[in-house]
Chains A and B, each alone.
Chain A
Amino acid sequence: MHGLAFDVAHMLAGSLVLVSFMLLYQDRLYALLNIFALHALVLAASVAWQASVQNAPHLFVTAGIALIFKAIIIPTALHRIIVQLGIHRQIENVVGVGLTMLLGIGLVALSMVVMLRVTSGADPLAREDLAFALSVVLLGLLMMVTRRNAVSQVIGFMSLENGLVLAATGAKGMPLVVEISIAFSVLIAFVIIGIFLFRIRERFDTVDVQALDRFRGERQ
């Protein structure tokens, strides 16, 4: 029985890393949003599995938040925003897909090496989870670095947060305080981003962050 629990958890966490890779090369915003919804869905499944394996019912709350808030509400809202901004047909130039993927693979290898080494004493389930979680976090960072569009950067940030949730649920018995705070911070982050996008649109007629760079304070 323990073997099964471990295998499923392993598979779900691994799938999350895989979906992170899928996020990296999406060049259409709609597709990007859909993949992000899938990302959140896999996260919800993974958290729910952890909840039942660890016998920790409060984790179901986290899973529910991931499912309802991240997989449904946020993608829908972002859909609306990009339609309103009129950028839903836009195709983003993802610079060097091959290179980005190679970098991503390197980051995953790095996080495996680092995490598996330092957690040699910990419970095997937590070890694997943590290694995958760090991969997701680093891939989220990579996405934020390589994208120029503000919406894509936000999605990169949210996938990073998903990795953190995975890590937090992998750590056995971590108090609920943290999960709530994560959900809360995502909410705040989203509100803020909404305001920002709105204003950026209002002022620049674009959500391309490169346009923002033109207004660097010192380059008058």
Chain B
Amino acid sequence: MTFDALAGVLLIPVVAAALLAALPGYRLTARINVAAALLTFATAVSMFFVEPRFGPFLLVDDLNKVFIVLTTLVGFTTAMFSASYIGHEIEIGRLTPRFVRFYHAMYQILMFAMNLALVANNIGLMWVAIEMATLTTVLMVGIYRTHEALEAAWKYFILGSVGIGLALFGTILVYMAAQPVVGEGLDAMVWTALMRRAASFDPELLDAAFVFLLLGYGTKVGLAPLHAWLPDAHAEGPTPISAVLSGLLLNVALYAVLRFKILLAINPGAIAPGPLMVTMGLISCLLGAFMLYRRRDIKRMFAYSSIEHMGIIVFAFGMGGPLANFAGLLHMTMHSLTKSAIFFAVGHVTQVKGTQKIAEIGGLTVTHPVLGWALVLGVVAIAGLPPLGIFMSEFLVVTSTFAREPWLAALLGLGILIALGGLFLRLNGIAFGEPRGSTAPAQASYAPMFAHLAVVLVAGVYLPPTLVAGFENVARLLG
């Protein structure tokens, strides 16, 4: 075998990172960045056609294929957006060429770390990969070196390390639970071995482990009450990083939680992980929704919207069952695509207007019709209005819950409605009303954001049967 997709999704970003760290010149490196991301995406897609072989360190199954393809796709489109965004940052002198080189290399290392976390067949390796992804994003968030950026990076670093520490403790507990059954050594940390034998693990140890893992990785998912880093990190870093954080990194942490949830589900004596996840998801959703009001910073507002949506997704997976899991998966995909599209639009808007303050941005549909309407479309989608994809997935989450726990469904619906109100309240001033701020024409790359929005629109109307079958299969795996 000369072609191995599994090695591909890991090696391409590493090689690209080394190349980008060495090469000068922004135009060339931005293109290499896009090309590498495209190549990684193509390799990831090939996994559906050629089943890669895997061993004790790496793993590919139906569950992580979905995550890998989504990650590499948004990674690719964000690289395209990033090329025009960074070009503008260099023009206005916010970033020097030296930092751009660093930025591009870090971007690829982040891609590598996320892919590694997704394909790791070892709970220790997965932990290392997620830690690596955290550290690279910490560096990227602080890249502008302003007061705010440093504070955001510091907060993110401290809270992220606490989360990572708790997650490691949980990982050690899982090993402790597995060790008497699987035996000492590497095998007791390998997913495939753990899954086979999980039924005979000590249930109490697994319970304790899951609490630590949920809190630890939950910090990275942005679940309340450990979400405090998320709005700052989104608001102060470069906008492509906000898009990657919201669209991808949160999902990767969620993937880790889901894996451990499956492990617990196999063990008959362990607690049901569902209620814990439902509670945290619901709190995050309501908190995120209420926090949408009184936001003055546009990127911060959409960061709170991410907390709300991650809450909904965790809620759906916590409810469990084929329908709720299907809805959760669909919602996760739609949220990634929509939120990154919104951040693409917001990135260009803040560059044109030269500010992130909502009060200083107004009448976008008049001054910059294309950007303005793209943002309107994105917000309509993220608020969950028909006929877009998020409406579908939110509808599925609420209805599948309603059949089982009407009160929880009512609370969740309330959260969604509150969020809708908050988003439209702000959108009204930003997109319509009196034009405020600069009216200089935007040099934007519209392709990525409209591609995302088109997918979301189509998904709201028609889901291809192969996709539905694939998601249903994964939903069954999730139990």
Segment from A25-33, A42-50, A210-218 that makes contact with B: A210-218
**A174 and B150 in contact, given A196-B142, A196-B157 (Cβ under 8 angstroms):** no
B208 touches A118 (CB 8 A): yes
Segment from B3-11, B172-180, B251-259, B370-378 that makes contact with A: B172-180
Smallest beta-carbon distance A68→chain B, Å: 22
Smallest beta-carbon distance A153→chain B, Å: 6
Interface code A111-135, partner B: CB below 8 Å = 1, 0 otherwise?
Answer: 0001101111110001000100110
CB-CB contacts below 8 Å: B122-152 with A: 122, 124-125, 127-128, 131, 135, 138-139, 142, 145, 147-148, 150-152
CB-CB contacts below 8 Å: A9-56 with B: none
A173 touches B179 (CB 8 A): yes
Cβ 8 A contact of A200, one of B154, B188, B357? B154
Using CB atoms, name the residue of chain A closest to B122. A177
Smallest beta-carbon distance B297→chain A, Å: 6
- Residue A73 CB within 8 A of the other chain: no
B205 touches A175 (CB 8 A): no
Smallest beta-carbon distance B216→chain A, Å: 11
Segment from A76-84, A96-104, A157-165 that makes contact with B: A157-165
Cβ 8 A contact of B151, one of A130, A141, A216? A216
B184 touches A173 (CB 8 A): yes
Smallest beta-carbon distance A27→chain B, Å: 21
> Which residues of chain B have C-beta atoms less than 8 A from A193's C-beta?
157
Cβ 8 A contact of A181, one of B127, B205, B295? B127
A188 touches B135 (CB 8 A): yes
> Which residues of chain B have C-beta atoms less than 8 A from A182's C-beta?
168
**A217 and B158 in contact, given A161-B165, A177-B122 (Cβ under 8 angstroms):** no
> Which residues of chain B have C-beta atoms less than 8 A from A192's C-beta?
135, 138-139, 157
Smallest beta-carbon distance A87→chain B, Å: 17
- Residue B204 CB within 8 A of the other chain: yes
Smallest beta-carbon distance B393→chain A, Å: 30
B176 touches A144 (CB 8 A): no
CB-CB contacts below 8 Å: A125-180 with B: 126, 130, 133-134, 137, 140-141, 144, 150, 153, 157, 160-161, 164, 167-168, 171-175, 177-178
A118 touches B205 (CB 8 A): yes
**A119 and B150 in contact, given A164-B169, A192-B139, A196-B142 (Cβ under 8 angstroms):** no
Q: For the complex, what is the distance from the CA of A188 to the CA of B71, rounded to whole Å?
A: 25
B151 touches A164 (CB 8 A): no
- Residue B162 CB within 8 A of the other chain: yes
B300 touches A217 (CB 8 A): yes
- Residue A209 CB within 8 A of the other chain: yes
> Which residues of chain A have C-beta atoms less than 8 A from B476's C-beta?
none
Using CB atoms, name the residue of chain A closest to B299. A217
Q: For the complex, what is the distance from the CA of A119 to the CA of B296, rounded to whole Å?
A: 49
B179 touches A172 (CB 8 A): yes
- Residue A90 CB within 8 A of the other chain: no
> Which residues of chain A have C-beta atoms less than 8 A from B135's C-beta?
188-189, 192
Smallest beta-carbon distance B302→chain A, Å: 14
CB-CB contacts below 8 Å: A194-220 with B: 196, 199-200, 203-204, 209, 212-213, 215-218, 220
Of the four ranges (under 10, 10 to 19, 20 to 34, 35 or more), the interface on chain B belongs to 35 or more
> Which residues of chain B have C-beta atoms less than 8 A from A216's C-beta?
148, 151
B185 touches A189 (CB 8 A): no
Smallest beta-carbon distance B214→chain A, Å: 15
Interface code B208-246, partner A: CB below 8 Å = 1, 0 otherwise?
Answer: 100000000000000000000000100110000000000
Q: For the complex, what is the distance from the CA of A38 to the CA of B189, rounded to whole Å?
A: 32
Smallest beta-carbon distance A149→chain B, Å: 12
- Residue B202 CB within 8 A of the other chain: yes
B153 touches A196 (CB 8 A): yes
- Residue B186 CB within 8 A of the other chain: yes
B157 touches A217 (CB 8 A): no
- Residue B207 CB within 8 A of the other chain: yes
- Residue B350 CB within 8 A of the other chain: no
- Residue A185 CB within 8 A of the other chain: yes
B162 touches A141 (CB 8 A): yes
Q: For the complex, what is the distance from the CA of A218 to the CA of B303, rounded to whole Å?
A: 13
Central interface residue in B122, B125, B135, B168, by most chain A CB within 10 Å: B168
A212 touches B202 (CB 8 A): no
> Which residues of chain B have C-beta atoms less than 8 A from A121's C-beta?
180, 202, 204-205
Q: For the complex, what is the distance from the CA of A141 to the CA of B164, rounded to whole Å?
A: 12
CB-CB contacts below 8 Å: B339-395 with A: 357
Using CB atoms, name the residue of chain A closest to B129. A181
- In the complex, besides A122-B205, A157-B161, A218-B295, 5 extra interface pairs with C-beta distance below 8 angstroms are A122-B202, A150-B154, A178-B127, A188-B135, A220-B296
Question: Chain A: residues with CB nearer than 8 A to chain B?
Answer: 114-115, 117-122, 126, 130, 133-134, 137, 140-141, 144, 150, 153, 157, 160-161, 164, 167-168, 171-175, 177-178, 181-182, 184-185, 188-189, 192-193, 196, 199-200, 203-204, 209, 212-213, 215-218, 220
What are 30 A-B pairs at a CB distance below 8 A?
A: A117-B204, A118-B204, A121-B204, A122-B176, A130-B176, A144-B162, A153-B158, A157-B161, A164-B168, A171-B175, A171-B176, A171-B179, A172-B179, A172-B184, A175-B124, A177-B122, A177-B186, A178-B124, A181-B124, A184-B128, A185-B164, A188-B135, A192-B138, A196-B150, A196-B154, A203-B145, A213-B151, A217-B235, A218-B296, A218-B300
